[in-house]
Amino acid sequence: MSGDVPLLSMRGITKRFQAVEALVDVDLDVHAHEIVALVGDNGAGKSTLAKMISGVMAPDTGLIEIDGEQVTIPSATAARALGIATVFQDLALCENLDVTSNLFLGRELRSGPARDDGRMELIARQVLRDLNSRIPSVRSPLSTLSKGQRQSVAIARTLIGSPRLVVLDEPTASLSVGHTAEVLVHIERLRDLGLGVLLISHNMNDVRAVADRIVVLRHGRNNGEFDAATVSHEVILAAITGATASEVESGPLSTLLRR
């Protein structure tokens, strides 16, 4: 991990929805040049944590630090100003607009009173080329693209405005194997470009393929942190489900490992 001060540091994050404790005293660090996978079962609080980073939701208590400085992230715009870009699980794209418009939505370049469509298209093509993505034309409306292509657009969007931290909420859910591989390559590109990446995923194969560090949430609490290079499948599954590693190996969960 590079540097002593993490890019993003969250301490003691707690969030309640009426009687439900979504997150309790959760800690999380993400450094630059690092892909951190946030894993956990359904309802473990992964998406809630992501929403706090991207300014959609505020924690009840807890500290968020960017580069060691305490911040509050009251809105998506504030998150962006801090260099945080998010790809939301339910694709936050406008199907009626073309690729360029979606990439620059909310931060259009201007030239006098008009938009600078020419420059935006140039950058759009540049960014898509950087990601090696296969989009036929930056003027294609989103409604004409495949799901995988849309996800490429969503990820490419994070690169507009040079962010430092990218949060990806289940980027490969509902994608075909081919498209998933493509998206994983995009994610590694993000790290190679020097960004910190927080990858939220269900899919252990994806996580192990690209992550440097794996953080497990269970019932809204931290339940282990592992070096992705050395940890075994069994140990992660055990942390996610709360079973012991040996139970995982021999019990019904072992079938999951063979996927």
Query: Quick one: which of 222, 220, 241, 224 has its CA closest to 21?
Result: 220
Strands 61-66 and 69-70: antiparallel
Q: Using CB atoms within 10 Å of the CB of residue 249, give its burial: 0 to 12 exposed, 13 to 18 middle, 19+ buried.
A: middle
> Could you give the 3-state DSSP secondary structure of residue 176?
coil
Q: Decide if residue 91 touches other proteins (CB under 8 A).
A: yes
Q: Decide if residue 61 touches other proteins (CB under 8 A).
A: no
Least separation in angstroms between residue 78's CB and other proteins is 9
Q: Decide if residue 134 touches other proteins (CB under 8 A).
A: no
Q: Decide if residue 116 touches other proteins (CB under 8 A).
A: yes
Q: Decide if residue 137 touches other proteins (CB under 8 A).
A: yes
Q: Decide if residue 162 touches other proteins (CB under 8 A).
A: no
Q: Binding residue for other proteins (CB under 8 A) from 119, 132, 242, 256?
A: 119
Q: Decide if residue 110 touches other proteins (CB under 8 A).
A: yes
C-alpha 66/C-alpha 1 separation (Å) is 16
Q: Helical H runs in the chain?
A: 46-53, 76-81, 99-103, 117-130, 147-159, 177-192, 204-210, 233-241, 245-250, 254-257
C-alpha 35/C-alpha 76 separation (Å) is 22
Q: Binding residue for other proteins (CB under 8 A) from 49, 76, 84, 168?
A: 76
Q: Decide if residue 94 touches other proteins (CB under 8 A).
A: yes
Q: Decide if residue 95 touches other proteins (CB under 8 A).
A: yes
Tell me the sheet residues that pair with 77: none
Q: Decide if residue 173 touches other proteins (CB under 8 A).
A: no
Q: Binding residue for other proteins (CB under 8 A) from 57, 71, 92, 209?
A: 92
Q: What residue ranges bind other proteins (CB under 8 A)?
A: 54, 56, 76-77, 80, 86, 88, 90-97, 101, 105-108, 110-119, 121-122, 125, 136-137, 139-141, 144
